[in-house]
Each structure stands twice: as C-alpha cells, then as structure tokens.
Structure 1
Amino acid sequence: MNIRQIAPDFSATGQILPEQMPAVAAAGFKSIVCARPDNEEGGQPAFDAVAKAAAAAGIGIVHIPVSGPLGEGQIIRFHDAWANLPKPMLGYCRSGARAGSLYATLSK
C-alpha cells in the first residue's frame, strides 16, 4: 500500500487487499471508504471480501463506488460516512484519486 495523508484524519491509497487489513488496523485507521466499483479490473477483490476483512479487524467500512464524475448522491453518502464513521479514515480506489476527490467535497 502506498498511503498518502491528505488531511490529519483522512488518507488515500490504491486497492486494499483483504490480507492487508491487519496492516491497515496497525496503521491506526478506524474506518474505510471504498470508491472503487466492483469488477472494474480483473483480479480485483470484491468489496464484500474487503468488507469482511475490515469487520474482522474492527474497522468500519462503506462502499461509495465512483466510475465517472462525482454525483450528488455519492457526495451525500460520503458526507454522511464522514459524519458517522470513526476517524482516521482511509479511502481507496484503483489509485486513491477518486477517494481523495470524495474527501475534497467536504470543503465545498
């Protein structure tokens, strides 16, 4: 994982594998937002597999798939997740860019 800190309570990274969840927990993350749609790329783990590993590690997780420009529904769901999930939060997608874009909507 190549984790980039964007703000004190939010970081972004590329795809997280279920077997990496202990490292995510050890890094201190309390919640995850997945901005990657399932089946975007071959070999990518399904969100359900990542969510099961997150739950086993005691990490809250939400799926807000983004495959194009951010829509109002995605922004509302992220703002709700931000308000209700514990921090620090880790966002991921293929590269981390879409997860970072979701976080950027907090300042609008």
Structure 2
Amino acid sequence: MTLTINQLNNDFSYTSQIEVDDISEIASLGFKTIINNRPDFEGNAEQPKSEALEAIALSHGITYVHIPVIPNNIQPHQLDKFREAYAKAPKPILGFCKTGNRASTMCKLALENHD
C-alpha cells in the first residue's frame, strides 16, 4: 500500500492506520519518529498491535511512541505526553491513527496550547 501522508508543518506529518509492511517505506521517506495515537484493539483483528509496529520501527532505526487516544476524547495528560514526545523525538515525525484526524488534532492542540 502506498501511504497518503499529509504534512502539518516541517516537523510533523500524519496518515491513517499504518501496517507493519509500511514501515520500510516510512523509513525510506526519511521519518525518524512514529507517534501512534490509536489504542490497541480499536480496529479488532485487522489492526496491527502497537508492540508489533514498535518492533519493526525500532529495527529500521525509527523512534516509536504510543499515546493511545479514544476518538473525540483527547485528555490534557495525553497532550502533555505528546508535547514531551514532540520536543524530544528525532524529526521529522509521522503521526497516525485510524484516519489521521486524531494524529493531526493532537499535534495542533499540543502546539497551539503550549507556552
């Protein structure tokens, strides 16, 4: 599958659900960090588990962060975790969730409500 990646700013882009097989493409595109905002088991059996994605990402030298967020229910502590990850993570970052909406919203909220 070819990923549809949307750029939010120079450091952050987002996409819909990724698969284990997509990680080599993500690495080849130059992403240094993946942030997963999708809870495990949200998509039943067709959704890869976060630990499987993390293992492959790490094997490609990509930092992996899991900040699971229930759709339409972003919490302040999750934004804090996102801000911390965003500040420390190697750039550029690729965020994802089921559709990409949570990932982009997390970044927008974290950056606009910071400082």
TM category, shorter: over 0.9
Measured after TM superposition, the shift of residue 74 of structure 1 is 0.3
| 1:71 pairs with 2:75 | yes
Counterpart in 1 of 2:49?
Answer: 46
Q: 1:86 aligns with which of 87, 90, 105?
A: 90
C-alpha offsets along residues 34-61 of structure 1, whole Å, 9 cap, x if unaligned? 0001001121000000000100000001
Counterpart in 2 of 1:60?
Answer: 63
Instruction: Find the aligned partners of 2:99 and 2:9 in 1 and give their Cα distance.
Output: 17
Counterpart in 1 of 2:36?
Answer: 34
| 1:107 pairs with 2:112 | yes
- Name the TM-score, length of structure 2 as normaliser: 0.91
Q: Residue type of the partner of 2:22?
A: Q
User: Aligned Cα RMSD in Å?
Assistant: 0.8
Secondary structure of the 1:7 match is: coil
Q: Which runs of 5 or more structure 2 residues have no equivalent in the other structure? A: none
Q: Aligned pair count?
A: 108
Counterpart in 2 of 1:13?
Answer: 15
Secondary structure of the 1:15 match is: coil
Q: Which runs of 5 or more structure 1 residues have no equivalent in the other structure? A: none
Q: What is the percent sequence identity of the aligned residues?
A: 39
- Name the TM-score, length of structure 1 as normaliser: 0.97
